[in-house]
Amino acid sequence: MADLVHKPSQANATIRVSRLARIINKETNFQIALVAPLQLLLWFLLIVPTIVVLYLSIIAWQPILGDWTKAPIVWLKNYGDVLSDRVFWAALGRTVAVVTIAVSLEFIIGLGLALLFRGDFLAKRILTSVILYPMMLPWVVVGFTFYLLFLPQGPVNYLLRQALGPGAAVSWFKEPLLAFSTIVLADVWQWMPFMFLILYSGLGALPREPVEAAMTLGANRWHIFRHVILPMLKPIIIIALVIRALEAFKIFDLIFIMTDGGPGTSTESISLYIYRLSFEYQRLSYAAAMAVLILLLVTVITRIAIRPLEYHQE
């Protein structure tokens, strides 16, 4: 082959990079303009509250003790207390369980539906709107609806009795495991559409040509799905999972309305616990410390989860 065409390909690659680098430098103003609004907003919103929370977490203070500026600084004592709090660990574990199960279900069902909806069929638009509907209801409404549904005298038990006989009804909110399930069910019902939405538009945004190329190369549907579509979808899948998991982790409204943490504290999520500490027990410093710990934990895990999406120099 003529060497004119094929100077070592690395040279081509290098040329490309440096050309790009020159362009990037010319455009620093552009880049700054792009992110400036975001930065301004976040700093405005975040800094002071974060500082306040941090400060709160290192002092020993409750509102009944009076002025917070005079409260003694106890540094890491609150943190130590949190880490040795059994209730904290229980709530944390529970929350992780809810998140894992719920998000997995949402993902699988959402993906399945997204694939199903890729072709055209009768009343597709309407059915899509229906499936998206649960997301559009305020939490509170979803919460009390499922509460009413699972009441001992509610429709779910009613149907169970009809289908399986009088003994089939269960006290959904009296058994920890059952209460747990109702919450997972409510969450999946409400948020599966989110996964569906993201995956559906993700699938739609995929370029068709690699898929066509794969077809001409002889790949069948399954092979294309596994080796072409899924890898291209990967960034979107990861983001969808991360976003949803972050939200699910903070689950509060549903539990508050449906079970109020009960029976006992068996469905208390970490958010709920913090809420109780803040508003019912007024142990603000303690709650602040817990919040910071949670933040650290979530940060670390998210960081690991996002790693595949990061940019590397090559």
Partner 1 sequence: MQTETNKGVTTARIVETRKLGPALRFVLALIVAIIVLLPVIWILSISFKPVEEWKADPPTLLPRRPILDNYKILFRIGNPVGTVREMVSSAEPVNRAFLNSLIIAPISTVASVLIGFCAAYAVSRYQVGGNFMPFFTLTTRMFPPAAFAVPLLFYYSWILRNYLKIDLYDTHLGLILMYTGFTVAFSLWMMKGFIDAVPRHVEEAAILDGASPWRVLFTITLPLVKGGLFATTLFVFILNWTEFLLALEFTSREAITVPVQISRYATAVGEFYGPKAALGIIASIPVVIAGYLIQRHLVTGFTFGMVRE
Partner 2 sequence: MSEERPLILLRGLRKEFNGLVAVEGLDLEIKEGEFICFLGPSGCGKTTTLRMIAGLETPTAGDIFLRGKRINDLPPQQRQVGFVFQNYALFWHATVYDNLAFGLRVREVSKEEIDRRVRETAARFELEPLLETRASRLSLSAMQRVALGRTLLTEPNVLLLDEPLNNIRPGLREVMRAELKRLQQQLGRTMIYVTHDQEEAMTLGDRILVMNMGRAEQLASPRQIYHRPETLFVAGFIGRPPMNFLETQYRVEGDRAFLERGNLRWEVSEKRSIIEEKVKGNRIVLGIRPEHILPVAEAREKGLTGQAVPVTVDLVQPLARKKIVDLKVGDKVIKMLVPGTSSLAKGEELEVIFDPRKMHLFDQKTERAIV
Name which of residues 256 to 275 contact partner 1 (CB under 8 A). Answer: 270-271, 274-275
Whether 57 contacts 77, CB under 8 Å: no
The Cα–Cα gap between 247 and 241 comes to 10
Among residues 99, 113, 195, 255, the one that binds partner 1 under rule CB under 8 A: 113
Q: Does 282 bind partner 1 (CB under 8 A)?
A: no
Owner of token pair 């999406």: 309
- Rounded to whole angstroms, the Cα distance separating 136 from 184 reads 18
Establish whether the linkage from the previous residue to 263 is cis, with ω within 30° of 0.
Answer: yes
Q: CA dist 201 to 105, 197, 247, Å?
A: 19, 6, 20
Q: CB-wise, 70 or 208, nearer to partner 1?
A: 208
What does the radius of gyration of the chain's CA atoms come to, in whole angstroms?
26
Size of the site for partner 2 (CB under 8 A): 31
Indicate the SS3 state at residue 11: helix
Rounded to whole angstroms, the Cα distance separating 200 from 111 reads 8
User: Given the complex with partner 1, which of 2 and 38 has the nearer CB atom?
Assistant: 38
Site string for partner 1, 124-163 (x = CB under 8 A): xx-xxxxxxxxxxxxxxxx-xxx-xx-x-xxx--x-----
Q: Is residue 313 a contact residue for partner 2 (CB under 8 A)? A: no
Say how far apart CA 154 and CA 144 lie, in whole Å: 12
Among 216, 304, 311, 313, binds partner 2 (CB under 8 A): 216
Among 91, 102, 111, 214, binds partner 2 (CB under 8 A): 214
Residue 174 is inside which H or E element, if any? none
The mark string for 40-69 relative to partner 1 (x by CB under 8 A, - otherwise) is: -xx-xxx-xxx-xx--x-------------
227 binds, among partner 2, partner 1, none (CB under 5 to 8 A by kind): partner 2
> Which one, 1 or 134, has the nearer CB to partner 1?
134
Interacting residue ranges for partner 2, rule: CB under 8 A:
1-2, 4-6, 8-10, 12-13, 15-16, 207, 209-210, 212-220, 223, 227-228, 231-232, 234, 314
